[in-house]
Amino acid sequence: MKNHHALLYVIEFLIIGSGFAFLLSVHLPIYQQLMFLAVILILYCTIGLLHHRTHHDINIKVVLEYILVSALVFALFIFLNISRL
């Protein structure tokens, strides 16, 4: 069972890590970067919530945590790139 958790964390890390590496290495217009970041964060939320759902430990706190962490990352990206908007 713990290998399943470790595999999920590796998959989430690879999705987020490779997504951010792509955003840093390719010079896209800011709006395309925001769209790509939104897709990465939606995928992160979906994988995390599906994981909790399969283990029957999903509740409103877990859902809010994934949504708020994603919103924080999105807001941080906008804040750091405000001059490009």
Asked if residues 43 and 11 have their Cβ atoms less than 8 Å apart, the reply is no
Residue 1 has pLDDT above 60, yes or no: no
Give me Rg for the CA atoms of the chain: 14
Phi, psi of 57 (to 5 degrees): -125, 30
- pLDDT for 15 equals 85
| Full-model pTM | 0.82
17-64 confidence digits (pLDDT tens): 898 889 888 888 989 999 999 999 999 999 889 888 988 888 999 999
What is the dihedral sign for C-alpha 25, 31, 36, 38?
positive
- pLDDT for 80 equals 86
- pLDDT for 19 equals 87
Distances (CA, A) of 76 to 32, 48, 80: 16, 21, 6
Sketch the domain layout of the chain as residue ranges: 2-84
